[in-house]
């Protein structure tokens, strides 16, 4: 089969469940990854034939996509902050908004480093780590940082630990500064954090970051089935009658686990920005602010002791 024929047919089939432009983009990514071609190969080389041994894989992938499985799960990876992370149904697919969270944390860490702040090297706690994309990225982008990453899901932690296993990859250098802990963020004790890292045993961190579950159940009707049917509900949803349950827990943990100069940043539900910020003020943090994403929507809450 010609590559151009497959792309045309696949885009038409996928266009039945996705907007046409998105469908074409997904097919383009799929063939580039599976065949090692460029997005324009079928244009500049219209006679390009799909190797026979690759056709069955592409057809299987396409059927999964038509069934609304996310492209990232089909391929087994998602790109985040310039790196490729393993993903699967046990973890959320990293979003661009979370890259902004990482970027904001790194900017503040670098600004503190330039002033010679006493908090260096920083000890960072990542709550609800999922795929580990936040913890890994902070460890790799800020080479002196020590990270403890916590999640309730053993399957999610298995994926987080499995990132960058190739000892020859430059990213593997971050492994010695990363610890993964299976624990419930809603019921987190210092004992539950100890055992894998001295910072955890000491019970003090310089920075706390988190992208916890924050989508209310009542928001489900506005969501696509590729999210509802495949991404882990445990990492997405909170009850309508208590949507801030994770933020109250994070604020409570932060009040006892942060150092005197410690601070944190959490991703939030834009619909609950003011009430989320209030959780951290109620926990005794004098410096609390709401930060926007690139579209101007409230997306993060910063909290600090000063």
Give the 3-state secondary structure of residue 54. Answer: helix
76 within domain boundaries: no
**Does 144 lie in the same domain as 18?**
no
What one-character DSSP code corresponds to residue 208?
Answer: E
Do 158 and 247 lie in a common domain? yes
Q: What is the pTM of this model?
A: 0.92
62 with 130, same domain: the answer is no
Phi, psi for residue 263 in degrees, rounded to 5: -155, 170
Is a pLDDT exceeding 80 seen at residue 64?
yes
Q: Are residues 61 and 95 in the same domain?
A: no
| pLDDT, position 139 | 96
The predicted-structure confidence for 71-119, as pLDDT tens digits, reads as follows 999 999 999 999 999 999 999 999 999 999 999 999 999 998 888 765 5
pLDDT number for residue 169: 82
**Residue-number span of the structural domain to which 55 is assigned:** 3-67
Q: Are residue 45 and residue 165 in the same domain, yes or no?
A: no
The predicted structure's pLDDT at residue 150: 96
Please check whether residues 120 and 196 belong to one and the same domain. yes
Residue 197 reports pLDDT greater than 60: no
Mean pLDDT of the chain: 92
In this structure, the answer to whether residues 61 and 106 fall within a common structural domain is no
- Do 102 and 174 share a structural domain? yes
CB atoms within 10 A of CB 26: 20
User: Quick check: 199 pLDDT over 60?
Assistant: no
Side-chain-side CA neighbours of residue 261 (13 Å)? 9
Residues 6+ apart with CB under 8 A from 212: 127, 128, 185, 246, 247, 250, 266, 267
Average pLDDT over residues 201-216: 87
**In a shared domain, residues 109 and 254:** yes
Q: Are residues 21 and 147 both part of a single domain? A: no
Give tens-digit pLDDT for 145-160. Answer: 999 999 999 999 999 9
The reply to whether 59 and 186 lie within a common domain is no
Residue 80 lies in a domain: no
Residues 178, 135 share a domain: yes
CATH of the domain at 173: 3.40.50.150
**Residue 210 within a domain:** yes
- The domain tally of the chain equals 2
Evaluate whether 139 touches 164 at the Cβ level (below 8 Å).
no
């Amino acid at each position: 089969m010609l590559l151009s024929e497959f792309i045309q047919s696949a885009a038409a089939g996928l266009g039945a469940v996705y907007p046409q432009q998105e469908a074409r983009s997904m097919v383009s990514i799929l063939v580039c990854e599976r065949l090692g071609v460029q997005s324009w190969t079928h244009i500049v080389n219209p006679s390009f034939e799909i190797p026979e041994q690759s056709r069955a894989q592409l057809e299987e992938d396409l059927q999964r996509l038509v069934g609304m499985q996310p492209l990232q799960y089909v391929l087994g990876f998602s790109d985040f902050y310039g790196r490729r992370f393993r993903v699967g149904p046990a973890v959320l697919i990293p979003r661009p908004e979370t890259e902004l969270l990482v970027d904001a944390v790194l900017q503040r860490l670098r600004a503190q480093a330039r002033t010679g702040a006493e908090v260096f090297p920083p000890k960072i706690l990542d709550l609800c780590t999922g795929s580990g994309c936040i913890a890994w990225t902070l460890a790799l982008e800020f080479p002196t940082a020590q990270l403890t990453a916590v999640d309730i899901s053993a399957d999610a932690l298995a994926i987080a630990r499995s990132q960058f296993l190739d000892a020859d990859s430059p990213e593997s250098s971050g492994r010695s500064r990363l610890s993964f802990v299976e624990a419930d963020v809603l019921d987190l004790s210092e004992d539950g954090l100890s055992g894998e890292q001295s910072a955890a045993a000491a019970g003090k961190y310089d920075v706390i970051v988190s992208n916890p579950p924050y989508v209310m159940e009542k928001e489900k009707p506005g969501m696509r089935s590729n999210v509802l049917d495949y991404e882990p509900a445990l990492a997405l949803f909170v009850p309508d009658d208590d949507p801030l349950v994770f933020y109250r827990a994070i604020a409570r943990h932060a009040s006892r686990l942060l150092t005197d100069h410690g601070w944190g940043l959490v991703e939030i539900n834009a619909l609950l920005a003011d009430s989320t910020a209030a959780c951290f003020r109620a926990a005794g943090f004098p410096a609390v602010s709401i930060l926007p994403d690139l579209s101007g929507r409230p997306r993060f809450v910063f909290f600090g002791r000063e």
